[in-house]
Amino acid sequence: MQCVILAGGLGTRIRSVSTEVPKCLISVAGKPFIAWQLDWLRDQGITEIVLCIGHLGSQVREFVGDGEAFGLRVTYVDEGESLRGTAGALRMALDADVLAPWFFVLYGDSYLRVPVKEVAKKFLKMGVSALMTVFQNAGKWEESNVIFNGEIVEKYEKNSIAPPEDMVYVDYGLLVLKREIIRNRVGSTSISDLAPILNSLSLEGSMAGFEATERFFEIGTPEGLDALEEHLSQSKN
């Protein structure tokens, strides 16, 4: 199984912690954050990683290398300093011919606890173009942005101004996409985000959902970083 990690962002919300390393290399509980991600993905059955890098990306290449140290095969797609957005980065990966027919997408600041093989099983069983992992967040850690009926994501709307009462789930941070979505919906030179595409897929009834049962962590903010540091430090004890 293949996972694309979107790790090219500027990390503007975490600049107070570090400006000299990319966000995915910030130290968390004794090691760079991406090491936690790669170890988790390997343990979940992922064998191949596509790392979409950009800002300070050479540091990521130097640390991760070809992935052998993590028991993985790693390929890079480098946006440099001209960032293309989350969808644009995936289009670069498509044009570089490194995307599998279907693949996972993980954000470079997310630490998750969800059974990846079970996610893949549901995706293949449902026969849809996309799957979004969701969590019944009810606005606790992030503003809820998903209406989920147990099988299908009926609506995904990022940054909803007035979420309806039944919008109690949140995008958990792990997607499954068919390669054709990127080919058909993202232009080769576009600067674009995944959010509008995911919104369209949800309204079309083309996106399944998988409900995670344990909270997510992210290092996009100092508060999120502190929460994950505490969680991982306790887990090691």
All domains in the chain, ordered by first residue? 2-136+170-191+212-236 (3.90.550.10)
pLDDT tens track for 69-79: 999 999 999 98
> According to the model, what pLDDT value does residue 129 have?
95
Mean pLDDT of 208-219: 91
CB atoms within 10 A of CB 149: 9
Please calculate the CA angle 29-30-31 and round it to the nearest 5 degrees. Answer: 105
> According to the model, what pLDDT value does residue 114 have?
95
- Measured between alpha carbons, how far is 231 from 169 in angstroms, rounded to an integer? 22
pTM of the model: 0.91
Q: Is the pLDDT of residue 12 over 60?
A: no
- Token match 């790790």: residue? 7
* C-alpha dihedral (221, 222, 227, 232), degrees to nearest 10: 100
| pLDDT band at residue 136 using 50, 70 and 90 as cut-offs | very high
> According to the model, what pLDDT value does residue 173 have?
92
**Are 131 and 117 contacting, i.e. CB atoms less than 8 angstroms apart?**
no
Q: Is the pLDDT of residue 82 over 90?
A: no
| pLDDT band at residue 6 using 50, 70 and 90 as cut-offs | very high
- Measured between alpha carbons, how far is 185 from 105 in angstroms, rounded to an integer? 16
Q: What is the mean pLDDT of the chain?
A: 89
Looking from the CA of 104 toward its CB, the CA atoms found within 13 Å total: 28
**Are 7 and 51 contacting, i.e. CB atoms less than 8 angstroms apart?**
yes
Q: Is the pLDDT of residue 200 over 90?
A: yes
Phi, psi (deg, nearest 5) at residue 95: -65, -25
Contacts of 173 (CB under 8 A, 6+ apart): 106, 107, 110, 112, 133, 216, 218
